A and B are shown apart, each in its own frame.
Chain A
């Protein structure tokens, strides 16, 4: 029990304000997303309800300006492996996630830019260096709005693989609010996060009864 972080309790007044804020969010269709100052992270009303069953979004019939072909999938997998640090990634799951990304109205155009950038630093799908990846997708000082947008697009790709959800602004939310936007239950179950931490997605099977009594084997 080495590092213990001291938390202070939320004052009743803050609690009240937060709840008002949540009420507004509920009215606008947003989900909770408020951060009190970090060093003074708060005690929470721990069983906040869900004001929103799920975030609705429109799916395009097909991405505009590019095809979801085999070559694109190959680059999508290469880029995904580079950004997630997990290799090899499942090709079928990759196809599904690429489809989700490409057909998401808010994200569709970004995917093309991500892939184009990736191909420029990994010609012929060679392995790009960490430095090139960082410079392209997570530069310390982004030089333009385009560069910032590319970083945002790369983050969404990481979230999609790790969580099986995008982390997106809810359309028309006021105040502007971000929420997780999930896909199918199978994708949820296979989200990388869970195998990375040697566990399993909550509400899905974890193994034989009693498996939790021992350290995971893999």
Chain B
């Protein structure tokens, strides 16, 4: 490694090129600061209408969220795998369902009978995990910041909704968020005091046929345990264009927001990486930051040490260092560097993406598998006195049937052959199930597949 030079090369070194790093890099580069972006991952192939990524997805067996980004120059290959002998194989050096070695645990030390693994993962790519996000964009509610004060749960934030509101607006205009001002006024502001100081940059995505049918069935209904809460189907804000916005087109309903919008109607951080580079920022990809080297009084970062994929080590220095490497990598870097942990909270309180998925068949066709994967939700249980007892939640209505409600189903084609289930013939509803277990073919197969898929309803 070359010797340290006591003269910062950059005004700002940003570690991580995901949504936080990208927006910071863009603002700083636009303000004529000398900006370096360090990114652990590689560059996703992106030309000719995303041809390569679309092809990767289509030819992939699993159609998993990271399928579009296959390739050795994009994702690090596990060193134990000989990529020459097994070119299509790669493994993540990150917490991934596939690689048990790199899992994160809530409990420390891990309890062998209850491992409590962190179940989400991220894309180690230039542009980060918004490469595979669905684009659902939802603000926190004012009461989310005051959980302890209101409900005796958790801790209060040191900032309030009022403090962040203008920054929400800034982010929404940068990204391009489609949402309904009328619904916000009539619902979020009235029910949850979630006011907006500026209207949404564009109207909400058009509600699906399915949403409208469900709204007819449930709007105004109260559940017996919660007589005060009335169900209501509202559109859900998305960072997906409902009209042309900042040179990107309106959504055309390719129904693949997750993992990739082939026409760029969905916002991704890569858009601001491109803008940042145009404004003069510099990008170094495939550079994994291993450590922040601190000065003697431990108050500032002397240099940022990183390793390239070929194993070479190098470093860089900046007047300001921004950690934007996500909720797992930021603590990893800080802990490894012995930095910024006077609170002893670094690396604790990791929040996963807890979800419960439900699915049912409707009594009449809802025609899913069309449009953006979600256009509406039910938000009434996002806040209320019940949060003393259980967490608030929202219910997304899925426009893609049973395709993502359980990995073992993966409608309509199926992911694997389920065991026989003669008593519940509609419980799976995939082509694999109908053909393998129910031995359907011909007109009967066609009708059964049609009737099942068009009535699928997921949330």
- Which residues of A line the B interface, CB within 8 A? 1-5, 7, 12-13, 15-16, 19-20, 22-23, 25-27, 29, 31-39, 41-56, 82-86, 130, 133-134, 137-138, 154-155, 158-159, 162-163, 165, 167, 178-182, 185, 188, 193-194, 196-200, 202-216
Q: A47-B64, A48-B97, A163-B431 are in contact. List 11 more A-B contacts (CB 8 A).
A: A1-B363, A29-B88, A29-B89, A33-B416, A49-B66, A49-B97, A53-B88, A84-B442, A180-B413, A197-B412, A209-B252
Q: For residue B97, which residues in chain A have a CB less than 8 angstroms away from its CB? A: 19, 22, 45, 47-49
A202 and B431: CB pair below 8 A?
no
- Bound CA–CA A60/B442 (angstroms): 29
Most buried by B among A2, A25, A51, A167: A51
B428 (CB) vs chain A CBs: closest residue: A38
Most buried by A among B66, B413, B418: B413
| Distance to closest chain A CB from B209 (angstroms) | 5
Partner of B253, one of A29, A198, A209: A209
Within 8 Å of chain A (Cβ to Cβ): is B23? no
Which residues of B are in contact with A by a Cβ distance under 8 Å? 54-67, 70-71, 81, 86-92, 96-101, 103, 113-117, 119-121, 132, 206-209, 212, 217, 250-256, 260, 262, 355-363, 365, 367-372, 375, 399-400, 403-404, 406-409, 412-413, 415-421, 424, 426-428, 431-432, 435-436, 439, 441-447, 449-450, 453-454, 457
What are 24 residue pairs bridging A and B, where the CB atoms are less than 8 Å apart in the complex? Answer: A5-B427, A12-B114, A12-B116, A38-B424, A39-B421, A45-B119, A47-B120, A50-B66, A53-B88, A84-B441, A85-B445, A86-B446, A130-B442, A138-B439, A158-B435, A178-B417, A193-B449, A202-B256, A203-B254, A203-B255, A204-B262, A205-B254, A210-B206, A213-B206
- A182→B393 CA distance, assembly (Å): 38
Contact B253 A85, beta carbon cutoff 8 Å: no
- Chain B residues with CB under 8 Å of A204's CB are 254, 262
CA distance in complex: A20, B260 (Å): 28
Q: Which residue of B lies closest to A183 (CB)?
A: B59
- CA of A38 to CA of B122 in the docked complex: distance in angstroms? 30
Interface pair A212/B67, CB less than 8 Å apart: no
Tell me the complex Cα distance, A178–B91, Å: 19
Closest chain A residue, CB of each to CB of B54: A203
The answer for the CA separation of A44 and B296 in the assembled complex, in Å, is 48
Most interface-central of A19, A34, A202 (chain B CB within 10 A): A202
B428 → chain A, closest Cβ, in Å?
Answer: 8
Task: Flag if B445 contacts A158 (CB, 8 Å).
Answer: yes
How far in angstroms is the closest Cβ of chain B from A18? Answer: 9
Most chain A CB neighbours (cut-off 10 Å) among B88, B253, B399, B445 = B253
Quick check: B408 and A36 within 8 Å, CB to CB?
A: yes
Q: Is the interface of B mostly helix, strand, loop or mixed?
A: loop
Inter-chain contact A49/B65, CB cutoff 8 Å: yes
A32 and B431 contact, CB distance less than 8 A: no
User: What's the least CB distance linking B287 to chain A, in Å?
Assistant: 22
Which single residue of chain B is at the shortest CB-CB distance from A22? Answer: B98
What distance in Å separates the Cβ of A67 from its nearest Cβ neighbour in chain B?
27
Task: Determine the residue in chain A with the shortest Cβ distance to B87.
Answer: A56
Are A49 and B96 interface neighbours, CB within 8 A?
yes
Cβ–Cβ < 8 Å partners of B116 in chain A: 12
| A42–B457 CB distance below 8 A | no
- Give Cα A43 to B404, complex, Å: 11
Bound: A162/B121 CA distance, A: 32
**Nearest 10 interchain pairs by C-beta:** A212-B371, A53-B70, A199-B369, A85-B446, A50-B64, A203-B256, A44-B407, A197-B453, A179-B61, A85-B443
Q: Which residues of B contact A197 (CB under 8 A)?
A: 369, 412, 449-450, 453-454
Return the chain B residue nearest A50 by Cβ: B64
Q: Tell me, in angstroms, the Cα distance from A86 to B444 when the chains sit together.
A: 10
For residue A22, which residues in chain B have a CB less than 8 angstroms away from its CB?
97-98, 100
Q: Is the pair A49, B369 in contact by a Cβ cutoff of 8 Å?
A: no
A212 touching B370, Cβ below 8 Å: yes
Tell me if A53 and B100 are in contact (CB < 8 A).
no
Residue of B91, B262, B446 most packed against chain A (CB within 10 A): B446
Q: Of A52, A133, A188, A203, which one neighbours B262 at CB under 8 angstroms?
A: A203
Q: List, in ascending order, chain A residues with CB within 8 A of B416's CB.
A: 32-35, 178
Contacts of B98 on A, CB cut-off 8 Å?
A: 22-23, 25-26, 48-49, 51
Residues of B within 8 A of A196 (CB): 446, 449-450, 453
- Measured CB to CB, the closest approach of chain A to B270, in angstroms, equals 17
A residues near B426, Cβ cutoff 8 Å: 3
Which chain A positions have C-beta within 8 A of B432?
159, 167
In the bound complex, do residue A2 and residue B446 qualify as a contact, i.e. CB atoms below 8 Å apart? no
Residue from the list B101, B371, B442 in contact with A82, Cβ < 8 A: B442
Contact A162 B431 (CB under 8 A): yes
Nearest Cβ on chain A to B119's Cβ, whole angstroms: 5
Q: Are A4 and B360 in contact (CB under 8 A)?
A: yes
Contact of B436 (CB < 8 Å), options: A12, A155, A202: A155
Assess the B356–A43 pair: CB atoms within 8 A: yes
- The CA of A165 and the CA of B415, in the complex, are separated in Å by 12
A35 touching B362, Cβ below 8 Å: no
Within the assembled complex, what's the spacing in Å between the Cα atoms of A83 and B440?
Answer: 9
Task: Give the Cβ gap from A197 to chain B, nearest Cβ, in Å.
Answer: 4
**Inter-subunit contact B371/A33 (CB<8 Å):** no
